[in-house]
Chains A and B, each alone.
Chain A
């Protein structure tokens, strides 16, 4: 999707990064470099992601930089936690699923959903 289609609202700042997936793992490197740059420049208190590989990369790097990390697995993952979610399940400070049946009551919490 062309970057110019993104328009940040007044008080928002939007960066875009290279998408990466299981099909094109080599993009992990440019993606991770871009995310590192953003984290070092902006120094956020919290990283929150609803998923896919770039979000998982951000959580891993966030842990490295001592930033609080929250993963909200997409409501689209109804049968099992997403692949990217499983990768960072042990690393995220807070790990949420939007489905009660996917919660294990401890590490994987259910705290409501978007719908």
Chain B
């Protein structure tokens, strides 16, 4: 099963429609979280918003995650060792307030287990080679530990 999620702030119809159409052609089960999107999936099952528990359940039972280029979904996918494909929202298409999601795509793609698409064409290309995508390898958590320790000291100072 593929789980596609666009976050809670904005719709992302371009992504949902692309994945829904690909899944129809390839007879692949998909669950979509579509926020306030106008496009409603024809093939995929969907929710507009989900509780954290429902979200985590769908994520853990999926073998591939597809997402807007938002940090929350990337972190959750990495922590669950699931491969994730992210596509950036585009400011000029009215999909976000600015183009920070495009700016972030380059470094996101360097993370093990994260694949990036900057268009629906690239998304389809990645979906066609879905079986080659793998989850993150062991992550070095030294940076995270350092941040947590620093915040712990700052808060308890």
> Taking beta carbons and an 8 Å cutoff, which residues of A are in contact with B?
1-2, 5, 7, 19, 21-23, 45-46, 48, 68, 70, 72, 74-79, 82-83, 94, 96, 98, 111-115
B96 CB to nearest A CB, Å: 10
Interface presence of B145 (CB below 8 A) = yes
9-residue interface stretch from B24-32, B48-56, B57-65, B126-134: B48-56
Report whether over half of chain A's contact residues are helix, strand or loop; otherwise say mixed: loop
A68 CB to nearest B CB, Å: 8
Whether the pair B97, A22 counts as a contact (CB closer than 8 A) is: yes
Question: How far, in angstroms, from A78 to B98 measured CA to CA in the complex?
Answer: 13
Whether the pair B139, A115 counts as a contact (CB closer than 8 A) is: yes
Given A19-B9, A46-B154, A112-B146, 16 more contacts at CB 8 Å?
A: A1-B8, A1-B49, A5-B52, A21-B97, A48-B151, A74-B71, A77-B100, A78-B104, A82-B100, A112-B142, A112-B143, A112-B144, A113-B144, A113-B147, A114-B144, A115-B144
Q: Which of B50, B100, B150, B155 is within 8 Å of A76, CB to CB? A: B100
Report whether over half of chain B's contact residues are helix, strand or loop; otherwise say mixed: helix
B25 CB to nearest A CB, Å: 31
Question: How far, in angstroms, from A15 to B67 measured CA to CA in the complex?
Answer: 27
Question: How far, in angstroms, from A45 to B155 measured CA to CA in the complex?
Answer: 8
Whether the pair A48, B100 counts as a contact (CB closer than 8 A) is: no
Quick one: closest B residue to A109, CB to CB? B150
A98 CB to nearest B CB, Å: 8
A45 CB to nearest B CB, Å: 8
Q: CB-CB < 8 A to B97: which residues of A?
A: 21-23
Of the listed residues A2, A46, A77, A111, the one surrounded by the most CB atoms of chain B closer than 10 A to its CB is A111
Q: CB-CB < 8 A to A78: which residues of B?
A: 103-104, 107
Whether the pair A94, B103 counts as a contact (CB closer than 8 A) is: no
Whether A70 touches B151, Cβ cut-off 8 Å, given contacts A112-B146, A115-B143, is yes
B138 CB to nearest A CB, Å: 13
B106 CB to nearest A CB, Å: 8
Question: How far, in angstroms, from A113 to B125 measured CA to CA in the complex?
Answer: 31
Interface presence of B1 (CB below 8 A) = no
Quick one: closest A residue to B139, CB to CB? A115
Interface presence of B78 (CB below 8 A) = yes
**Could you tell me which residues of chain B, from 109 to 124, have a CB within 8 Å of some CB in chain A?**
111
A-B contacts, 25 listed (Cβ < 8 Å): A1-B8, A5-B50, A5-B52, A19-B9, A22-B97, A45-B155, A72-B147, A75-B71, A76-B100, A76-B104, A78-B104, A82-B100, A96-B150, A98-B147, A111-B150, A111-B151, A112-B143, A112-B146, A112-B149, A113-B144, A114-B147, A115-B75, A115-B78, A115-B143, A115-B144
